[in-house]
Structure 1
């Protein structure tokens, strides 16, 4: 990497000796490392801080690595690269890790140099992808890499669920997205009561459509919702 001093890595590994070895090796190469020895602490750090990559063991106390990765992707909507560590070497084990959102897989025991090489590759691909992953509808812009949202040049903050809805609407704009599709995106085949989606849509509308700006979010009665530029509206 060209700027290793700017790389931050979270190591979530309950084996203290292995976690220390990884941290020491990466620290010597000018990475900035942080260590969590259980899944609960690891998930908290992962969603409250920004890291360039996460090294994640599967067998963890508190929350296992597979569950942690799934919650990171689905609940926190995080795109941080995840390198999973495990002693499980079967194809099914690897498939389970990738299915939950892991980006790469390293079988124990492993060489620390290989860990470094894989981290560099993951971070390089992530940074390249972040530069190109931009969604834009009118003056509303969303960076899929950093999840930074701006309307008319001003930063907008959104909770995870409304942000997930917004990403879907922006990707499908100017098409109408049905309530059913939004509910499936959020909750799969087990949506809560109908008021839940209404609450999330209210939060989204309030955040992205302030009174002083023309509205982008449109309710299509009996069908769903639509995100489009104001001058494209036919309502």
Structure 2
């Protein structure tokens, strides 16, 4: 059986106190005081559920008492004015003082009971509403803190230039939610890497992530949830029960987290491709420069070798002509013939200057492209 509600009646007329006490005592625990001072003293040591308050009393009227009570946060109780003064002005004065309802004397017994019952119902509803508001406030604070974790991750993720750094940021965020999981990266259907919050992942977990890739954005099984995105998947191993109020929030938060992870993975992979192409181009330019420099060197060596051979040929020819018994005209003819062809050969090598100049231009252009 529930405890009876406590009603405090304040009135300077003993007859009124006796009347209201008789009406209420069958249903409620009733206390009576005859002045404002007694009322305030009583409230310091007791906490009634409803106060019935007369207006016209000596020394301190009902409005003054009401204002004194409402000014003290520890005395939060509903006040029902019970007065012979029922004009609009009096009622407005009562409401301005902080009263919750107004009953005019003389009154019907049932009317008093209904008023008190209504006041208690109001108190109960207000209490329930306060509980709900507190729960909503706590939930809002919790949700705000959780969203703060996500925002911190998103800010930090822009500083992550590789998958290892990104993984640390993800696992740090999961720790804020008291969650354990396995994170897998993939590209074009190929698994790039798999990481676990414990440091070691089980092969079966990696396989599960691959097998559930086509099972939709979220795949749930008991206390495990898998979140699938294009370039990454996350297995959470300790999700709360579906009946837990945190469950729905965590699903939303983890989807937001993985959407950010997927976006950053895509960016990192693109950066790696660009860097790889850049490295390949640099290597190609270096090898091309080496090749052209070698061509220049070989051309110079060939020209010097040709000059040396031609000079040796002319010297040998002059020596050999002396022993052939040729007349002067014949010697001059042969010597001139050889000289002319040697000159033509040198002219051919002189034409290589254009090739050398072109090679120098190419090397110079490659040097500029390699500058930081």
> How would you bin the TM-score normalised by the shorter chain?
0.5 to 0.7
1:85 pairs, out of 82, 90, 96, with 82
Instruction: State the match for 1:7 in structure 2.
Output: 5
1:48 aligns with 2:45: yes
Deviates most, 72-81 or 46-55: 72-81
Q: How far apart, CA to CA, are the structure 2 residues paired with 1:94 and 1:61?
A: 19
8 Å contact 1:47–1:76 — kept in the other structure? no
Aligned ranges 1:111-150 → 2 under 5 Å: 111-134=108-131, 135=134
1:18 aligns with 2:20: no
Root-mean-square deviation (Å):
2.3
**What is the number of residues matched between the two proteins?**
137
1:69 aligns with 2:66: yes
Q: How far apart, CA to CA, are the structure 2 residues paired with 1:47 and 1:133?
A: 23
Unmatched runs of 5 consecutive residues or more in structure 1: 140-235
Note the C-alpha offset of 1:48: 2.6
Higher helix residue share: 2
Q: How far apart, CA to CA, are the structure 2 residues paired with 1:119 and 1:106?
A: 10
Q: How far apart, CA to CA, are the structure 2 residues paired with 1:14 and 1:90?
A: 21
Structure 1 outlier segments of 4+, above 3 Å = 134-139
Note the C-alpha offset of 1:33: 0.5
Instruction: State the match for 2:29 in structure 1.
Output: 32
Higher strand residue share: 1
The C-alpha deviation readout for 1:94-149, integer Å capped at 9, x for no partner, is 0010111111001111112211111001111111111221447779xxxxxxxxxx
TM-score of the two chains, using structure 1 as the length reference: 0.54
Work out which of the two has the higher radius of gyration on C-alpha atoms and give 1 or 2: 2
8 Å contact 1:12–1:38 — kept in the other structure? yes
Bigger relative contact order (CA 8 A; separation at least 6): 1
Aligned ranges 1:211-222 → 2 under 5 Å: none
TM-score of the two chains, using structure 2 as the length reference: 0.35
